[in-house]
């Protein structure tokens, strides 16, 4: 069940990133995490920490606000 949750979060994260037109590198730069860590989260091979989820969703939200003009 936990692995399913990891994959689901990763899938949603990737979909949101792509919807905003962000590369993994750009999101990582905004969130302050490594590309390798983001890949693990998006693929569901490593569970995201609470800090990961908070940092990534905040970075996505900031990017969303920047694209809404």
DSSP code of 47? P
What confidence tens digit (pLDDT) does each residue in 47-66 have? 999 999 999 999 998 887 77
Distance from the Cα of residue 2 to its chain's centroid: 18
Rounded to the nearest 5°, which phi and psi values hold at 34? -80, 155
Question: Which residue's structure tokens are 């390798």?
Answer: 36
What confidence tens digit (pLDDT) does each residue in 17-52 have? 999 999 999 999 999 999 999 999 999 999 999 999
Report yes or no: 55 and 31 within 8 Å, Cβ to Cβ: yes
């Amino acid at each position: 069940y936990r692995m399913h949750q990891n994959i689901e979060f990763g899938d949603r994260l990737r979909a949101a990133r792509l919807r905003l037109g962000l590369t993994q590198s750009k999101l990582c730069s905004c969130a302050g995490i490594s590309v390798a860590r983001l890949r693990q989260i998006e693929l569901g091979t490593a569970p995201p920490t609470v800090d990961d989820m908070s940092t990534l969703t905040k970075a996505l939200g900031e990017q969303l606000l920047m694209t809404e003009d």
